[in-house]
């Protein structure tokens, strides 16, 4: 049984990416999962001046400890103008100041969704390229397009997308058992 940390890269109280994370977590059995709602983690915009004057917040240190105590991450990133949100990039900036390799040895299921037909693939691609710089191994990815048409309270509605999601999740979970 592996320890898994699950969260969305969004600080929105109505995050569709967090809904996708919660759905994904509901499909996992026999693992110890901690789900974080990043809407309750307000981080100031990173700057060297702020860090020098204030240091690191307790919530940042706790987030890093939660990551360090996990074998895997289930992460879904939101997209603003074709890129990851400023909030998520800021979280990565802060975490990398605590420890450049804060994801060392961590396996990641990286997902994204949006209301549009591309399913936040721009943000997913950028983050997929970024996470290995911090030591992560992105073992599988999944993008859900047209969230409001393809997802409901019961989960993914489109059978082909549902199958693709299940395959990505299986690859991730299998990687934790190796």
For 55-74, give the DSSP string.
---HHHHHHHHHHHT-SEEE
pLDDT above 90 coverage of the chain, percent: 93
Domain hosting 118: range is 3-176
Q: What is the pTM of this model?
A: 0.95
CA angle 116, 43, 121 (to 5 degrees): 20
Q: Rounded to whole angstroms, how far apart are CA atoms 23 and 152?
A: 10
Residue 77, beta-bridge partner list: 112
Q: Within 10 A of 174 (CB to CB), how many other CB atoms are there?
A: 11
How many domains is the chain built from? 1
CA angle 112, 114, 117 (to 5 degrees): 105
Q: What is the mean predicted confidence (pLDDT) over 9-27?
A: 97
Q: Rounded to whole angstroms, how far apart are CA atoms 68 and 65?
A: 5
Which domain CATH number covers 49? Answer: 3.40.50.360
Mean pLDDT of the chain: 96
Three-state SS for 69? Answer: coil
């Amino acid at each position: 049984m592996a320890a898994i940390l699950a969260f969305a890269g969004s600080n929105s109280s109505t995050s569709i990416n967090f809904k996708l994370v919660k759905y994904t977590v509901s499909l996992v059995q026999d693992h110890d999962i901690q789900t974080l709602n990043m809407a309750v983690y307000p981080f100031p915009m990173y700057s060297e001046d702020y860090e020098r004057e204030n240091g690191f917040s307790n919530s940042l240190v706790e987030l890093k400890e939660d990551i360090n105590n996990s074998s895997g991450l289930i992460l879904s990133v939101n997209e603003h103008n074709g890129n990851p949100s400023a909030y998520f990039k800021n979280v990565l900036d802060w975490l990398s100041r605590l420890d450049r390799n804060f994801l060392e040895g961590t396996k990641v299921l990286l997902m994204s969704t949006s209301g549009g037909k591309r399913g936040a693939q721009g943000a997913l691609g950028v983050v997929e390229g970024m996470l290995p710089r911090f030591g992560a191994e992105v073992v599988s990815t999944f993008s859900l397009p047209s969230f409001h048409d393809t997802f409901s309270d019961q989960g993914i509605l489109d059978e082909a997308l549902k199958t693709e999601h299940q395959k990505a999740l299986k690859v991730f979970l299998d990687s934790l058992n190796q």
